[in-house]
Structure 1
Amino acid sequence: MKLTPFLLSSVVILASFSQSLAAPTVAASLAFSGAGEHPPLQSSEFVDRALTSFKRYAGSDGVFDAKDVKRLAPLSARQASGFSKSDFERIHTLDLDGDGKVQKDEVEVWARDAFDAYDTDGNGSVAGGEIGAISKDFEPYRANAANANAPETVSIYVGEPPKIPHNTSSKCDFPDVDGATVVFVSKYEAGNLIDLAIAGLDTEADSAEVQIEPGAGPLYVVAQTFMPTVWRVTGDVSRVSRFVAVGINRGPDAGDGVGVSGLTADKVTFVAGLDCLPWTSDEAGRYKQSVELKEKLGKAPDKVVANYTMSTVSIPSGTFSEPNRGTPIDLFSMFPKISSSAAQSDAARNLSIYSPLGLLRIDPRSVVAPTKVQPYDVLPQQVGLLQLISDGQIVEQNGLYRIVKPIRRYPAGLTGALSVKFMICDGVPQPGGSPGHSEVLREVPMIADPVCEAHRG
């Protein structure tokens, strides 16, 4: 997934500065400032610098979680390490799966995306003007580093991490192959959002289509995803002898966060992700997965199809598609009451970048899943923001999302670059759910906000 530079601050600061946040006095000299001062960086070097910097936040166990928040919470602790508060808070945006922890593999995903975004000529290295672009884009963060010891006044509310329902048992049993052709499919995301919660109401979900091509011989499909997903199986489904859906990397239970439509339940098996076949993003990890599958199935996969974004995949050929990002979405078909200004809002633009296929509606009765499948009462991410704007419950102006009428819950998945700024107008109750990494302000009664005032009564 190619991310635009202005959305990459969370990780490029890590890769760019490495040690530059260690002390304000050396921040400027170690930051990227020009092509002549820095040798070209290969992808592996870029990622290594990000990981090296991340270790300073994460501590000895290599995971940034609640104990590190506590360790770095005192101002004196951050000043001793040279962290500004904004640096400290920005680490949370690397939490891709919303479990309240930032781990090495999540940093790697972001770092590789950051490298791809700045490698504008696609030659496999960042050099010259590309390094200059990094320096220019992240000048504000060098300023933050230089002022790490300055008084802190920022206040951000971060809700509880999403809680995902789990089954009571953990399973890692793969059914017999029985001579079928084995196809292993792995993706991070599908490039869309769906109206069904497959991993709880506070977690976004997507859907990818698995198109079964006509032909002879049974197919044994192992499908893996990082994002909670409904796999939609279409085409010559009679060829599928077994569809094994691997759960997401958030818990030990079989089938966490995944569902399958288009097949009868007797053809679907759910296995755990963390305990069984952890998701990975690199070639070495996928090779290891193939070895593990051979041990579990008695044969290696005949076909491996893996990509960060995969909206459709044809089996057994392995042909897949991914959407074009940034293409405007027909929002009026999704929300007939939406205004033209809302259709041009930041929420609409981010939707076209991160979920360019928009919203897909799925009948919950068609989904086979081991966990509860239910429609969202508030749709996830930017689709949810647009839903609330269309319904008149939120007013967006200059990037501030004012909650002018009660809403049942925050849209799920407002983390990282998708986080926004909310203002809850006076008299409006706190919404349910989690705002993710979004900032939440409250209107102060003695200083009335004009937009909130206009919508009262």
Structure 2
Amino acid sequence: MKTWLLAALASTACAFPALGQDARSGCSLPKPSAAAKVLLLSAYEGDALSATTIGSQDIAIRTASIDVEAGSEPLYVVALSYKPMIWRLSGAVERVERIVLASQSTEANGSRPDARPIVGASGIAADKVAFLPRPACLEDFSEVPSAEAARTIGVVKQQTGKNPIVAAAYAVSGITIPSAALKPPSSGADVRPSIAIENDGKGFRIDLNGKPRTEEAGNALENDVMRFYPGGVVEIDTGTVVASGEPARYEVLPGKAGLLQLVRSGALSRNEKGELVIKTKIRFPAGLYGGESARFILPRGVPAPAGDPGHSCVVKEEAGDTSTDPDADC
């Protein structure tokens, strides 16, 4: 049985109740052991982009690391995020007796109160992972002290019977536990790693882990990739991911990274206005919302792309009209 399905069945304490029940019903945390130290980790998003998706090619997944320090005391971890996330565990992972995962996001660009959050973890056995069933179960936070933090800490303390050790950030690169030390943010805007794109026979992959260089004028899309994902694009083996949906490799990377990937492959070209001209049949990258949206030109005779354009504007040359989300700026 696949790890994601095993994980979804692993915790009866967090079983998904029928729709229409009270928003907090079924949200009880599994009980920690008497010896366990409880940790509460929270972030709006990871600062790196995952090359593995959860459940859909149209959902952009972020990622951050959890490094477990050596020691004998068992650890009980509650990990929260706003955006869809894969937490990557490494180090003395055998110390983790349970990790409880939650996210506010249940779809590509939003949250439904009756839907399952999109979240996962890698590097840990499925029987140690539990999922909270709905976004309302626990509220993420990125600052302590704050009202959101106080509410969530109070719920965790009440349900586990222990004061949690807390670590939080807006865009997290990594967290070391149990010391709750935040990994320093990735490089600033002045110096970034170079970008390489490789074709491994399965598809193109962007690697930001190259020799640092100063940003150069004229590389707007490359610089956007570095700005939106300062932690880079992280390859995660789908077979190691325990998630609330089935893990899969992206056909096209999300957001700005996917746009750069398609430009580098020749499937898109950029005109002088920065518009993206579609040259052949493509899939829109996931997550083209807000600042990651784009303006596409679909020439006559070119097949319409698969996937979700998000907030992006798509100008169909043949019809002379636009196909866009109502929030797009066309």
- Normalising TM by the smaller chain, what interval? 0.7 to 0.9
Mapped contact 2:81–2:104 kept (Cα < 8 A): yes
Equivalent residue number for residue 31 of structure 2: 176
Alignment partner of 1:385 is 2:254: no
Distance (Å, rounded) in 1 between the aligned partners of 2:301 and 2:219: 26
Measured after TM superposition, the shift of residue 227 of structure 1 is 1.5
**Rg larger in structure:** 1
CA distance in structure 2 between the aligned counterparts of 1:286 and 1:357, rounded to whole angstroms: 25
Indicate which of 229, 237, 246 corresponds to 2:93: 237
Match of 1:426 in 2: 300
Q: Deviations over 1:412-443 (max 9, x none)?
A: 11111111111011111111211111111122
Does 1:329 pair with 2:176? no
Tell me how far apart the structure 1 counterparts of residues 156 and 51 of structure 2 sit (CA, whole Å).
32
The equivalent residue for 1:115 is: none
Q: Sort the Cα spacing of 1:207 and 1:235 in 2 relative to 1 into closer, same or farther, 3 A.
A: same
2:170 counterpart residue number: 308
In the alignment, residue 149 of structure 2 is paired with which amino acid?
Answer: R
Residue of 154, 159, 176 corresponding to 1:291: 154
**Percent sequence identity over matched residues?**
35
Give the corresponding residue for 2:279: 404
> Matched residue pairs, number?
276
Distance, in Å, in 2 between the alignment partners of 1:174 and 1:193 is 28
Aligned-partner Cα distance in 2 for 1:388–1:420: 13
Q: Aligned residue for 1:203?
A: 59
2:277 corresponds to which letter in structure 1?
A: R
**Per-residue displacement from partner, 1:137-189 (whole Å, max 9, x unpaired)?**
xxxxxxxxxxxxxxxxxxxxxxxxxxxxx999244231111121111000111
Q: Distance in 1 between matches of 2:114 and 2:251?
A: 26
**Does 1 or 2 have the higher relative contact order (CA < 8 Å, sep 6+)?**
2
The aligned residue for residue 72 of structure 2 is 216
Post-superposition shift, 1:232? 0.8
Q: For structure 2, which runs of at least 5 residues remain unmatched after alignment? A: 1-7, 10-14, 18-25, 106-110, 207-215, 321-330
| TM-score (normalised: structure 2) | 0.77
Report the CA distance between 1:222 and its aligned residue.
Answer: 0.4
Q: SS of the counterpart of 2:104?
A: coil
Q: Which has the higher helix share?
A: 1
Match of 1:133 in 2: none
Query: C-alpha displacement at 1:292, in angstroms?
Result: 1.0
Letter matched to residue 135 of structure 2: L
1:317 alignment partner in structure 2: 179
Q: 5 Å matches for 1:16-415? A: 169-170=16-17, 171-179=26-34, 180-249=36-105, 250-252=111-113, 256-282=117-143, 283-301=146-164, 303-321=165-183, 322-326=185-189, 327-334=191-198, 345-398=219-272, 399-407=274-282, 409-415=283-289
Q: TM-score w.r.t. structure 1 length? A: 0.56
Gaps of 5+ in 1: 1-165, 447-457
